[in-house]
């Protein structure tokens, strides 16, 4: 989409601010949903239904004294939140949240997603390894293993999308879904696999090994405090929203829906509703999940999801060949 640079700048700022505040909303949704499953009330004090609690938590952490241990690699420690927040916001601008066309786009921008994934993980690694204590070392080690597993799965499921839509540009994939149908109807298995591997990416149960508190205290987050902790938590929230939005874009047709092409305002509303639905599904899995044993991680995450993707690929190939 070729728009004036000024418009792009304004849209960038608007989308960035929306991304920042929406990520707190999604944390609230997740906390409320998990609390309901666990017979608790969840946050309820700040704002209606405690809706502002995650944001207030963030502000409070910002104001806390930061304890930096001796021997911390300050470069890593300071750079990690910057990398994480910047890259995730940049990545979000490539998703069609506000309208059918993303704020930023170019040919083949699906590959930006991989850079964002890699750099988010890198920012965690840098935060974790800036001080090497037993807990951070074990936690970061687990993070690397987990990353190498879900990265492969994501890559493969995107390849299948590319295979069907015939384009690695996000806006083209959305347009393909609007002309035909959302990809979830063509690739249901791929959709399920992507949602499941999201749990691994976001370090949610049952794949919350990198910071499994009963095993490795806070894992790679053990040495963080104050504003760095606030920003690393923000990165976690942004990662959550970004990944869900990605699934909505690639599998659920973004904000498309009845009358969305006539009434422009409906696009972000539909998008949000779909994203909230996925957040609820994730929260439900979180609520009933038991953490996998670390040595069984490849068995529970890598092998079953990869083989499911192979099945999906075979089905897709047969279907396409029959069509051609």
Partner 1 sequence: MGAVSLPKSDGTTVKLVPSESIVDAVKEIATTHPHLVGITAVHADSNIELLYSFDNFRGELRHLRVILPDKQPSIDSISGILLGAYIYEMEVRDMFGVNFNGHPLPNTRLLLPDSYPAGAPPPLLKTVTMDQLMKLLDSVQELQPPSPAIPITGSSRYSAESVVILPFGPYHPALKEPEHFALALEGEKIVEARPRIGYVHRGIEKLAENRTFLQALFLVERVCGICSFHHSWTYTLAAEKLLGITPGARAEYLRTLVAELERIHSHSLWIGLLGYWAGFDSMFMWLWSARERIMKLLEMIAGNRVNKSYITIGGVRADVSDEKLKIVQREIEEFKKEFKKISEAVMSYEPLWERTKNIGSFTAELAISAGAVGPTLRGAGIPYDIRKIEPYGAYPDLSFEVITEKGGDVLSISTVRVKETFESIRIIEQIVEKIPSGNPVPQTFFMGTSKEGEAFARTEPPRGELYYYLRGKVGSRNPYRVKIRTPTLPNLVLAAEALKGYTLADVPLILTMIDPCFSCEDRAIVYVKGMEPLMVKLPRSVPANLSLGCPI
The first and second tokens of residue 278, run together, are: 């996925």
Question: 10 Å Cβ neighbour count for 29?
Answer: 20
Residue closer to partner 1 (CB basis): 174 or 209: 209
Q: Which residues bind partner 1 (CB under 8 A)?
A: 34, 37-40, 134, 138, 205-206, 208-209, 212-217, 287-296
How far is 256 from 177, CA to CA, in rounded Å? 9
Q: Are 233 and 80 in contact (CB under 8 A)?
A: no
The least distance separating partner 1 from the CB of residue 209, rounded to whole angstroms, comes to 7
**Three-state DSSP class for residue 289:** coil
What is the phi/psi pair of residue 242, to 5°? -60, -45
Task: Please choose, from the candidates 117, 115, 144, the residue with its C-alpha nearest in 3D space to the C-alpha of residue 129.
Answer: 144
The least distance separating partner 1 from the CB of residue 279, rounded to whole angstroms, comes to 17
Residue closer to partner 1 (CB basis): 68 or 145: 145
Q: How far is CA 288 from the centre of its chain?
A: 20
The least distance separating partner 1 from the CB of residue 287, rounded to whole angstroms, comes to 5
Question: Residue 176 to residues 26, 165, 251: CA-CA distances in angstroms?
Answer: 28, 6, 11
The least distance separating partner 1 from the CB of residue 248, rounded to whole angstroms, comes to 26
Residue closer to partner 1 (CB basis): 168 or 289: 289
The least distance separating partner 1 from the CB of residue 25, rounded to whole angstroms, comes to 22
Residue closer to partner 1 (CB basis): 100 or 294: 294
Residue closer to partner 1 (CB basis): 212 or 309: 212
Q: Which residues contact 209 (CB under 8 A, 6 or more apart)?
A: 142, 146, 203, 215, 219, 291, 292, 294, 297
The vertex-250 CA angle with 246 and 252, nearest 5°, equals: 100
Residue closer to partner 1 (CB basis): 1 or 303: 303
The least distance separating partner 1 from the CB of residue 216, rounded to whole angstroms, comes to 7
Q: Are 124 and 231 in contact (CB under 8 A)?
A: no
Question: 10 Å Cβ neighbour count for 69?
Answer: 11
The least distance separating partner 1 from the CB of residue 254, rounded to whole angstroms, comes to 33
How far is 209 from 221, CA to CA, in rounded Å? 12
Task: Please choose, from the candidates 27, 18, 86, the residue with its C-alpha nearest in 3D space to the C-alpha of residue 52.
Answer: 27
The least distance separating partner 1 from the CB of residue 38, rounded to whole angstroms, comes to 4
Q: Are 84 and 135 in contact (CB under 8 A)?
A: no
Residue closer to partner 1 (CB basis): 132 or 227: 132
The least distance separating partner 1 from the CB of residue 290, rounded to whole angstroms, comes to 4
Residue closer to partner 1 (CB basis): 141 or 254: 141
Residue closer to partner 1 (CB basis): 239 or 286: 286
């Amino acid at each position: 989409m070729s728009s004036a640079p000024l418009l792009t700048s304004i849209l960038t700022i608007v989308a960035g601010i929306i991304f920042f505040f929406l990520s707190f909303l999604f944390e609230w949704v997740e906390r409320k949903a998990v609390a309901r499953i666990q017979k608790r009330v969840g946050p309820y004090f700040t704002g209606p239904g405690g809706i502002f609690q995650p944001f207030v938590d963030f502000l409070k952490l910002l104001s806390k004294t930061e304890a930096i241990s001796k021997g911390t690699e300050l470069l890593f420690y300071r750079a990690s939140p910057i990398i994480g927040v910047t890259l995730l916001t940049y990545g979000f601008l490539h998703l069609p949240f506000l309208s059918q066309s993303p704020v930023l786009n170019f040919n083949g921008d699906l590959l930006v997603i991989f850079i964002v994934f890699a750099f988010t993980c890198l920012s965690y690694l840098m935060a974790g390894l800036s001080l090497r204590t037993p807990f951070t070392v074990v936690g970061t080690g687990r993070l690397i293993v987990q990353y190498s597993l879900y990265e492969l799965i994501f890559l493969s499921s995107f390849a299948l999308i590319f295979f069907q839509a015939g384009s690695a540009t996000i806006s083209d994939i959305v347009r393909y879904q609007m002309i035909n149908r959302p990809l979830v109807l063509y690739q249901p298995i791929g959709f399920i696999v992507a949602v499941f591997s999201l749990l691994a990416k976001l370090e949610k149960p049952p794949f919350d090994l990198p910071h499994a508190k009963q095993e490795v205290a806070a894992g790679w987050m053990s040495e963080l405090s104050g504003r760095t902790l606030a920003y690393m938590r923000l990165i976690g929230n942004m990662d959550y929203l970004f990944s869900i939005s990605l699934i909505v874009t690639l599998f659920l047709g973004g904000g498309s829906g009845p009358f969305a092409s006539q009434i422009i305002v409906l696009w972000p509303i539909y998008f949000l509703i779909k994203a909230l639905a996925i957040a609820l599904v994730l929260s439900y899995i979180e609520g009933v999940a038991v953490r996998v044993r670390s040595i069984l991680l490849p068995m529970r995450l890598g092998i079953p999801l990869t083989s499911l993707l192979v099945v999906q690929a075979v089905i897709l190939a047969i279907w396409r060949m029959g069509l051609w």
